[in-house]
Structure 1
Amino acid sequence: MHDLTGFQRDLLYVIVGEEEPHGLAIKEELEGYYEKEIHHGRLYPNLDTLVDKGLVEKGQRDRRTNYYTLTRRGRREIEARREWESRYVDL
């Protein structure tokens, strides 16, 4: 996960936290978090990068709607990241 941007990590967290979210649902969640608009030109290339890295799988609900799920590798990466964070952040 060390080679991901912060935005890509946030995408992973949103995807794991939802049940097969589609792109617009991910976009809306991140817009709420960032408090600004996320453009399609930023969202979808980053999702494709996560798919290419084997962290996310993309499925098709219908001709217009894709959904995203974390792969086992993606889940392991999040678990490793959370373990690393917990060494430094104890709230």
Structure 2
Amino acid sequence: MQHGHEVGADDIDAAARQVAHALLVVCELLVTSAKAALEALVEHPEDSGVCEIAQKLEMSKSTVYRFLQSLKARGYVVQDAEDRYRVCAASMN
């Protein structure tokens, strides 16, 4: 805050708009990345481990793992005993 300048409602509204825009951008990036992970499973079901998907998408393994775990928790993918992932048939309906 500068000397002699009080924060008004217009300043707060502008800041809120900037924060909302930043959140929308972050959400769009997350959705796009999760969608890319799901598409990689559909397009290459034989290469369905975290490492293979991360390499294809040029993402970190930890990021891909978190996306896959989130998709798994929502019933979009299943994980086998060898830690391979595949799209759940029920999610395609």
Letter in 2 for 1:19: P
Separation of aligned partners in 2, 1:75 and 1:29: 23
Between structures 1 and 2, the one with greater strand share:
1
| Deviations 1:22-78 (CA, angstroms, capped at 9, x unpaired) | 1111011101xxxxxx223311111100000100001122xxxx10000123334xx
Higher Cα Rg, which structure:
2
In percent, how many aligned pairs have the same letter? 21
Separation of aligned partners in 2, 1:72 and 1:22: 18
> Does the CA contact (< 8 Å) of 1:55 and 1:71 recur in 2?
yes
Q: Find the counterpart in structure 2 of residue 5 from structure 1.
A: 31
> Does the CA contact (< 8 Å) of 1:12 and 1:74 recur in 2?
no
4+ long deviations beyond 2 Å: 73-76
Q: TM-score, normalised by structure 2?
A: 0.60
Q: How many residues align?
A: 63
Letter in 1 for 2:54: K
Q: Find the counterpart in structure 1 of residue 40 from structure 2.
A: 14
Q: Find the counterpart in structure 2 of residue 69 from structure 1.
A: 86
Q: TM-score, normalised by structure 1?
A: 0.61
Separation of aligned partners in 2, 1:69 and 1:39: 19
Between structures 1 and 2, the one with greater helix share:
2
- Segments of 5+ residues of structure 1 without an aligned counterpart are 32-37, 77-91
RMSD: 1.6
